[in-house]
Amino acid sequence: MSSTWHILGAGSLGSLWACRLARAGKAVRLILRDPQRLAAYQAVGGLSLIEQAHSSFFAIPAEADEAHAPIHRLLVACKAYDAAPALARLAPRLAAGAELILLQNGLGSQDEVADQVPHARCIFASSTEGAFRPADWQVQFAGHGFNWLGDPLNPAPAEWFSDLEEAGIPAQWTVDILSRLWRKLALNCAINPLTVLHDCQNGGLLEHLSEVDALCAELAQLLHCCGQPQAAEGLNEEVQRVILATAANYSSMYQDVRHGRRTELHYLLGYACRAAHRHGLALVELEHLRQRLVDNLQARGLPSD
């Protein structure tokens, strides 16, 4: 089986993973959106990784998603709403026993992808690393963090897992990946939408702690109901710690809105509200928050689904 790391999406996280794997001597191939993006990439010839003020260049080979060679290992590094449509196009290229690593934030997109590729193993990831693109084909490593990977259907670690350590990608295999993803989703629901609605940095929520508390209480209820009691433990305290520790930061949702980009709402707060509905739970604060956010996005002319 080929050990090439195919990377779908040369955005912030995809480029960060691609550069570190290439630096460690691993075979890496980028899969770009279409021939136009491929031509733009080829004109530059590679990706630049900027760490502190230092920039390194990696001439990583790339293809558009019309290539035909089989794919054995695929890092899916698109936004949550792009993952399943992108996979639908690539599915015929996946070899028997192919493994996918899904980097998407939130929940829901992983199942959408798995439905497209029932013959592949889907490994879920939860990342606290931070990166952004100062320009096309450049990635700035903005925040050191950690990656948890796991497969809810199979506790055995992937055989390539040691590649990550060799590439300096901090990661741990976990059998509790769903608990990690739920916890991160709950933190996101308690913080990010409010930063958009109150137009503030994370620290601005210190003036709205009663709203935050009410959301945390409902989110904890939801987590229990969804069989994730561990993810509910000490949620309110952690949300407050995160608000204090990141007081000067703008949340990812705030930044998406400020830059006029589509948010991942559907896979975060939207997912939480749909899960509550499925369980017959009336979570009025959470639903009211979702409705206010939808109204806010629509007023800005941004997608609200």
Residues with a known catalytic role: 184
Count Cβ atoms below 10 Å from residue 207 Cβ, excluding itself: 10
Q: What is the dihedral of CA 210, 225, 109, 269, to 10 degrees?
A: -20
Binding residue for ligand NAP, selected from 12, 116, 140, 202, defined by CB under 6 A: 12
Q: Assess 8 for contact with ligand NAP (CB under 6 A).
A: yes
Q: Assess 113 for contact with ligand NAP (CB under 6 A).
A: no
What's the closest the beta carbon of residue 31 comes to ligand NAP, in angstroms?
A: 6
Residue with smaller CB distance to ligand NAP, 129 or 218? 129
Q: SS3 for 243? A: helix
Residue with smaller CB distance to ligand NAP, 55 or 279? 55
Q: Which stretch binds ligand NAP (CB under 6 A): 11-19, 116-124, 191-199, 233-241?
A: 11-19
Query: Cα separations (Å) of 121 from 65, 88, 95?
Result: 20, 15, 11
The whole-angstrom distance between residue 256's C-alpha and the CA centroid of its chain comes to: 13
Q: Which stretch binds ligand NAP (CB under 6 A): 41-49, 78-86, 148-156, 173-181?
A: 78-86
Binding residue for ligand NAP, selected from 31, 101, 107, 239, defined by CB under 6 A: 31
Q: Largest Cα–Cα distance in the chain?
A: 55
Q: Assess 264 for contact with ligand NAP (CB under 6 A).
A: yes
H/E stretch holding 83 reads: helix 80-90
In whole angstroms, give the CA distance from residue 170 to residue 194: 30
Residue with smaller CB distance to ligand NAP, 123 or 283? 123
130: β partners:
143
What's the closest the beta carbon of residue 205 comes to ligand NAP, in angstroms?
A: 20
Residue with smaller CB distance to ligand NAP, 266 or 283? 266
Binding residue for ligand NAP, selected from 105, 110, 147, 202, defined by CB under 6 A: 105
Count Cβ atoms below 10 Å from residue 174 Cβ, excluding itself: 17
Q: Are 70 and 95 in contact (CB under 8 A)?
A: yes
Q: Assess 32 for contact with ligand NAP (CB under 6 A).
A: yes
In whole angstroms, give the CA distance from residue 66 to residue 105: 26
Residue with smaller CB distance to ligand NAP, 146 or 227? 146
In whole angstroms, give the CA distance from residue 157 to residue 56: 31
Q: SS3 for 173? A: strand
Q: Assess 93 for contact with ligand NAP (CB under 6 A).
A: no
Q: Are 63 and 30 in contact (CB under 8 A)?
A: yes
Residue with smaller CB distance to ligand NAP, 9 or 46? 9
Tokens of 280: 């017959």
What's the closest the beta carbon of residue 280 comes to ligand NAP, in angstroms?
A: 29
In the range 129-188, which residues lie near ligand NAP by CB under 6 A?
129-131, 133
The whole-angstrom distance between residue 90's C-alpha and the CA centroid of its chain comes to: 19
Q: Assess 37 for contact with ligand NAP (CB under 6 A).
A: yes
What's the closest the beta carbon of residue 281 comes to ligand NAP, in angstroms?
A: 26
**Interacting residues toward ligand NAP by CB under 6 A:** 8-14, 31-33, 37, 65, 77-80, 82, 86, 103-105, 127, 129-131, 133, 264
